[in-house]
Amino acid sequence: MKLALFDYGAGNLHSLGKALEAAQATVTVTSDWDKALRLDGLVLPGVGAFGPAARALPDDIGPLRRRLEEGYPCLGICLGMQLLFDASDESDGHGIGLVPGRVRHLESAVVPHMGWNDVETAEDPIFDGIEQLVAYYANSYICEPVDSAAAIAWSTYEGRRFAAGLRAANTWGLQYHPEKSSLPGRQIITNFVRLAAETRQASPDSVESRA
């Protein structure tokens, strides 16, 4: 599997790239959208601010959003999950808009939310092989989808329950950092690589036709 790890200037690229490689993916770090979308799948890393990351998105976001709507595999982590939304309270800028909704400031006594937290999960293949998920967080903002059915995982922090994961077509967003979440997190990354491979096998000419 050839995956694009997109570099918008502040992502946690090294540890995430190593985790993807451990899951048998070939990783290309790139800030070139044409190059990224010619590969088998896309990973949007965490760490950074919404505004600068949004400015690294294509000027015309339509083709990228359509590719995701059509089933192009994508994994968005932390900030990468937030970029799947329309906009954020953090700063100006337009996200991809794949998931209708907005990114809101986490209204809690202690922000950012740092450290380990239980994650409730719905039935979804991204969680295959995981009986109990405790994940590592580093976030000051949370995602509020218009349609709550988009959420496939939830966490509670200081009494506030929020979406910890979501899915739209073959795009998964995770508010926590699986690459820092021990064996269950690495299983999630392995599952994504497998799911991307299954999508690739179902449409074997799709990547070559875009080369």
Sheet hosting strand 26-30, strand order edge to edge: 26-30, 2-6, 41-44, 74-77, 171-174, 160-168, 151-157, 113-121, 133-139
**Amino acid found at 79:** L
149: amino acid identity, one letter: A
Active-site residue (options: 74, 90, 143, 177): 177
Q: Which residues on adjacent β-strands are paired with residue 137?
A: 115
List the catalytic residue out of 78, 90, 113, 143.
78
Q: Which of 74, 113, 143, 179 is catalytic?
A: 179
Strands 141-145 and 87-88: unpaired
Q: Nearest-CA neighbor of 82 among 50, 117, 56, 119?
A: 50
Could you confirm whether 208 is annotated as catalytic?
no
* CA quadruple 63, 67, 69, 74: dihedral, nearest 10: -120
Residues with Cβ within 8 Å of 156's Cβ and at least 6 positions away in sequence, in order, are 117, 118, 162
Catalytic residues: 78, 177, 179
